[in-house]
């Protein structure tokens, strides 16, 4: 079953740098797992708060995050602030 994940997270680099890394460096790994990015953006009220909306087969995105959590933290994300919600 396909599921949609909406996740907000604090980032510790400028928005442009986060998007460059997200769109370029990390895209091949997501693509290989069939993870489709629907939307990603930054809060108008807080430039350190990002949002990502993705679709993938059930459990795939959560597993991807767990496998790469240290990389995300090292590059830009404050993973302890992640607030995911999963929708079907």
Helices (H), 34-87: 60-75
Domain harbouring 41, CATH code: 3.30.70.100
pLDDT computed for residue 86 by the predictor: 97
Contacts of 86 (CB under 8 A, 6+ apart): 3, 4, 5, 62
The DSSP code for 13 is S
Number of domains comprising the chain: 1
Q: Where in the sequence is the domain holding 48, given as residue range(s)?
A: 2-87
pLDDT computed for residue 29 by the predictor: 95
CA–CA separation, 19 and 16 (whole Å): 5
pLDDT tens track for 16-53: 999 999 999 999 999 999 999 999 999 999 999 999 99
């Amino acid at each position: 079953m396909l599921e949609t994940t909406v996740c907000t997270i604090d980032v510790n680099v400028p928005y442009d740098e986060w998007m460059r890394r997200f769109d370029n460096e990390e895209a091949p790994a997501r693509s290989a797992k069939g993870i489709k990015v629907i939307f990603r953006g930054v809060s108008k009220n807080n430039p350190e708060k990002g949002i990502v909306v993705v679709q993938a087969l059930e459990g795939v995105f959560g597993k991807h995050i767990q496998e790469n959590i240290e990389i995300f933290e090292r590059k830009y994300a404050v993973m302890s602030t992640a607030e995911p919600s999963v929708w079907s």
